[in-house]
Amino acid sequence: MTVAFAEIADRVHVLRHPLLDVNVTLVVGDGAALLVDTLSTAAQAGELAVAARRVTTDPWTIVNTHHHFDHCFGNATLAGDPPVAVYAHEETARLLSDDPDGVRRRAYEEMLATEPALAAELAGTAILAPTHPVHLRSTLDVGGRRVDLHHLGRGHTAGDLVVHVPDADVLVAGDLVEQSGPPAFEESYPLEWPETLAALLRLAGGGTVVVPGHGAPVGVDFVHEQHTELTALAWLIRDGHADGAAADALSMRSPYGPAVALPAIERGYAELSNRT
């Protein structure tokens, strides 16, 4: 399988891996580069390295947008030897450092039914935890280009990190924004996600390109639409909890449909009942 980067803005390139349609972003400066996310396995990360080297021979730093396997399980291949700095939110760093077996097991269980070959690879993948935890914000110098890392709040996970390349007007959103499918709520904070996405929109201008975790890059209008849907879901959860509505019945009224929305409703109910 041959994968390749496409330039979406000045020296900002995106690779869409066909398995899970997950994105990796490559920012190239003068003598340095930045890789945002590292795919799922050692084999995928090896393909990614070859694709990145077709664009630049410069050394890279790595950012993980969050702890899910398809965004960080390639760390050991791309940052392990020689050691490379890996930035991530402090909660992402904690999970990958303190509970790698749990993170690996959840990845295996998630993929076993639909992608058994990938699940088998995930079970044997070495996990390399981030080396540079970010609390709320950090600024990197990538070969003379400023790149800002922001934790804007909880949403898809507790440790979502947004990467802003201001001179190219690009925001790398991770799974806070999804284009090729609905948002994933299994480890989410659905009551907080709308405000986190609103904070992301406050970083954007009218022409900003937003790189989602999965799918094609989008504009701010798409993100506004997703914000509207997430806000409607959050209010549905709050109203349903106040009315004592059953979660499965409430999921039928979600903008995303019952199968997608049920985990969000259950997590929202738990938060409102102080069980999270």
Q: Token digits for 81? A: 């030897």
Mean pLDDT over residues 80-108, rounded? 95
The partner residues of 145 in beta bridges, in order of sequence, read: 142
Mean pLDDT over residues 73-99, rounded? 96
Please tell me the least confidently modeled range out of 9-18, 154-163, 227-236, 267-276. Answer: 267-276
Average pLDDT, the chain: 96
Give the model's pLDDT for residue 82: 87
pTM as predicted: 0.95
Report, in angstroms and rounded to the nearest whole number, the Rg of the chain calculated over CA atoms: 18
First to last CA, the chain: 42
Residue 197 in this model has a pLDDT that exceeds 70: yes
Q: Could you give the percent of the chain with pLDDT greater than 90?
A: 97
Walk me through the domains of the chain, giving residue ranges and CATH numbers: 5-272 (3.60.15.10)
Choose among 263, 93, 100: nearest CA to 193.
263
Q: How confident is the model at residue 170 (pLDDT cuts 50, 70, 90)?
A: very high
98/103 Cα distance (integer angstroms): 10
pLDDT in tens, 45-66: 999 999 999 999 999 999 999 9
Q: Which residue has the tokens 């659905």?
A: 190
Give the model's pLDDT for residue 252: 94
Choose among 27, 28, 44, 45: nearest CA to 36.
27
